[in-house]
Amino acid sequence: MVELRTFEGDAEEASHFINGVWQDRYGKKLPLAVWDARFFDWLLFREGQAPRDYLVAAYDGGRLVGTLFAEPARLRVGTREVDGTYGSWASVAPSHRGQGIGGKLAEELFRRHRDRGAMLTLGCVAAGTDGPGFWKQTEHARILGGMGLWVHVFDAQALARWSMNASERALFTMARPFLRHRFRQASGQDIRPYRPSDLPRCMALLQRMMAPVTLGYTYTAQRLAHQLQYRDVPHTFVLEQAGEVQGFVNSYPMRMTGRETMTAEVVDLMAFADSVSHDDRRRLLQVAMQDMERRGASCAAMLRSPCIPASLMWRSGWVPFPGGAKVTCLLPSPQLELPASPCVFTHLR
């Protein structure tokens, strides 16, 4: 008999189970992220110290057969900030598909939201997976518009070997002679790695950057500190001028499977003071890109967002790319009304 309860394992077990399920289901037809133990420890477990209220699992005779995880988060809805979660990684073992376990996991997650006063779950679902169809069947679910990407290519040859799409492989192969990599010449003057003492200023810059957002992820000081620095997972660079931090770029590495495995760098956050020149904004991003390439990234990606001007990305050598992901809102509290045309900020997970 299948029993639903709080996930009992650690980041290593979560990584092994979820990656195994996704590779079995989609590995031969879609490129997939590899959510390794370091990644899950950073977001969900924090060396076993993080709360597990929203880590829901299904067990059959003690064997893990399903998961639906969400991390507690403050979310902005219109002009309000409410308690909620950022959810993803819905997985059911191949041996137990077709038994309604996914729906039961969602019901349990919703129940926990209601019991704890959390008002919504925000997430992204990838095109080509079962996610969009699954969530459309869920009561109080809203699937919003697609989210495109900004992409920078460091190693076109590696991407051509990795891609599962023939048109993409041809594009990367043809693009290789034209890549100039001007970011390599950017000066690192006044740019350094993040330090914990930078947190208050980074928080102020982030709040200013997110002013237009009417639906999306927000940060407490504690959560931002964890986002910017945790062991060796995220990498954050700051621009310091006149003794004060004036901008920062935050990213993390993610391995991706395709025909081969490659490493992408995902940019989560970027914020600047209004006084920072266009040249210095570009220079900070390009110095962060130097570090990404040095650590072995074949490309970098960032969700397109109203918070970051397109002109900065174009001038830094990034190009728009169809992302294939849709923003999902799940509303355990039906009284909560979403903005009619939301300005969305979320993360690529």
C-alpha distances in angstroms, 159 versus 151, 155, 165?
A: 12, 7, 11
| pLDDT 10s digits, 37-70 | 999 999 999 988 899 999 999 999 999 999 999 9
Measured CA to CA, the distance from residue 285 to residue 126 in angstroms comes to: 27
Report the half-sphere exposure of 222 (CA within 13 A, side-chain side).
5
C-alpha distances in angstroms, 89 versus 123, 124, 199, 204, 283?
A: 10, 10, 29, 31, 35
Strands 244-257, 32-34: pairing kind: antiparallel
Measured CA to CA, the distance from residue 263 to residue 238 in angstroms comes to: 23
Looking at 190-204, 228-242, 274-288, 320-334, which range is the least confident one?
320-334
Selected residue with higher pLDDT from 322 and 132: 322
Instruction: With beta carbons less than 8 A apart as the criterion, state whether 290 and 183 touch.
Output: yes
| pLDDT 10s digits, 189-206 | 999 999 999 999 999 999
Q: Is the pLDDT of residue 166 over 90?
A: no
Q: What is the mean pLDDT of the chain?
A: 90
Mean pLDDT of 173-186: 77
- Sketch out the chain's domains with CATH numbers: 2-148+326-345 (3.40.630.30), 149-322 (3.40.630.30)
Measured CA to CA, the distance from residue 25 to residue 50 in angstroms comes to: 29
Q: What percent of the chain has pLDDT over 90?
A: 65
Instruction: With beta carbons less than 8 A apart as the criterion, state whether 222 and 203 touch.
Output: no
Q: Is the pLDDT of residue 231 over 90?
A: yes
Q: What is the DSSP letter of 261?
A: E
The whole-number pLDDT of residue 56 equals 97
Mean pLDDT of 263-268: 97
Strand, helix or coil at 229? coil
Measured CA to CA, the distance from residue 294 to residue 263 in angstroms comes to: 12
Backbone φ, ψ for residue 298 (5° rounding): -85, -25
Among 143-147, 205-209, 211-215, the range with the most confident prediction by mean pLDDT is: 205-209
| pLDDT 10s digits, 113-152 | 989 988 888 888 777 777 666 666 666 677 777 778 999 9
Reported for 138-141, long-range contacts at CB under 8 A and 24+ positions apart, including other chains, are 138/103, 138/106, 138/330, 140/110, 140/330, 140/331, 140/332, 140/334, 141/328, 141/329, 141/330, 141/331
The whole-number pLDDT of residue 306 equals 83
| pLDDT 10s digits, 5-26 | 999 999 999 999 999 999 999 9
The whole-number pLDDT of residue 124 equals 80
Residue 12 structure tokens: 């290593």
